[in-house]
Amino acid sequence: MYQTSQQQTNDVIGFGLFLMFMGITLGLVKNLIMESEPIGEYLPMTEAKKPVVTVTCPICHKVIAVPDYNSMTRTDALRRHIDLEHKQGRFQPQVLIEGGERVPAEYRNLIGFLRGSLPEYSLMTILPAVEVETGEKKIDAVMKQLKAGVEGIQDSYQFRLFLTTMAKFHDYSIGNQILIMLQKPDAVRVAGFNTWKDLGRWVKKGEKGIAILAPVMPPKPKVTCPGCGAEVSRTARFCPECGHGLDIGVEIDQPRFFKVVHVFDLGQTEGDPIPEFEIPVLTGEVNEELFARLLDLMKSRGVGVSFEPRPHLDPGIKGQYVRGEVWVRPEEPRAQQLKTLVHEIAHYYSEGVFRIPRQDAETIAESAAYVVGAHYGFDTGVRSFPYVALWAQDKKVLDQNLSSIREVAGTILGELEKTR
């Protein structure tokens, strides 16, 4: 169909106006969409993604993501994972340790110092090691070293050094505390080679491991559930098959074999920092946080703490624990009050909780108070322990008293952690 020049010109102008109208319409729609939706939805690469912080569980080797690294540390995430996944067995992760050697007959009297498994989890020790170095020491050589360490405790200085070690590694058995003290008295946190690797750190070339003894626990015996007849562990409280309650006493066997394993101190490693870790420095300054926690602990236990003046008492008496009440002399400086408070609380646990005889309670309370104070970087002022020589003459008495110190101090430290 023929069109005049004017008609063709009108058609071109009309088509141009149509294109202009469509362009304006699309522009308006685009602006409306951009105003209603954040630009990040369309340009995700313009926002820097935070790296996912993870930590590997040394027990099951599962990679655990830390939800919010600013408010939760890797240690917190690891502890939560272990509490949820690895609390079924008392001796986890001891089941990972196989083999082992019998303790030579001449060292059988030292087995009491090695009671208990390696700690399942501890902020001070991170995680126990189950790795063994090539060419590890024979068990008799380590036991010989342990024997020398036990005999050396009768020296006052050596005993204080031992208590300082206990403050840092209170989850370990007494025997392993002594071995750590002898080989690396300045150790602050130990773990095995692979455990450090999982935490982003590596043992420095040429570093020598600290030899400790890991008990190889015997297989747990099975019993029959009266409800369904299924075989269950003797330590189980409920049958996993039918849920029937089990009236079975917990039996803890003494380890029959031990294996030499090696751990490394934090200072022997390099790599990623552990920001939540603080090395306590013993000072005479007042630790107000510890002071407050101790008061809260006694309140939760229903034990009264009094700072009322008692002018009728000898000024040399700084405090007392009598019949469920702790008293601290109010006229003393704050640091002395804290030292007295720790000591008298240790008396409460020694006499009131564990029923330790009075003739031993003073020594045990003083020693346990030192361990608790040192754990929080507070020096309780203990200068000498000459009475230890009397314990060391009889290995059974020494074992019993050291075990009591560990039990009292460990209980206080464990309950203080719950007051946070």
| Contact by Cβ (8 Å): 201, 59 | no
Identify the pLDDT of residue 250. 41
DSSP assignments along 285-333, one per residue: S--HHHHHHHHHHHHHTT-EEE----TTS-TT--EEEETTEEEE-TTS-
Please give the residue that has the higher pLDDT: either 89 or 203.
Answer: 203
Range from 76-90, 306-320, 394-408 carrying the lowest mean pLDDT: 76-90
Identify the pLDDT of residue 102. 80
Rg of the chain over all Cα atoms, to the nearest angstrom: 32
Residue-wise pLDDT tens digits, 209-248: 999 988 876 655 667 777 777 776 655 556 666 666 665 4
Please give the residue that has the higher pLDDT: either 36 or 408.
Answer: 408
Please give the residue that has the higher pLDDT: either 41 or 397.
Answer: 397
Please give the residue that has the higher pLDDT: either 220 or 252.
Answer: 220
Q: What are the residues whose beta carbons fall under 8 Å from the beta carbon of 115, sequence distance 6 or more?
A: 173, 174, 254, 403
pTM of this prediction exceeds 0.75? no
Cα–Cα nearest to 240, from 365, 88, 16, 414: 88
Q: Which tokens hold the place of 308?
A: 């009322």
Identify the pLDDT of residue 135. 47
* Residues 377, 379, 403, 265, Cα dihedral to 10°: 40
Confidence of residue 277 (pLDDT cuts 50, 70, 90): very low
Identify the pLDDT of residue 349. 93
Residue-wise pLDDT tens digits, 31-42: 655 555 544 444
Helices 395-418 and 174-183, interaxial angle, to 10°?
A: 90
The most confident of the ranges 56-70, 72-86, 188-202 is 188-202
Question: Cα dist. 298→50, 289, 293, 304 in Å?
Answer: 44, 14, 9, 7
User: Rounded CA gap, 160 and 372, in Å?
Assistant: 13
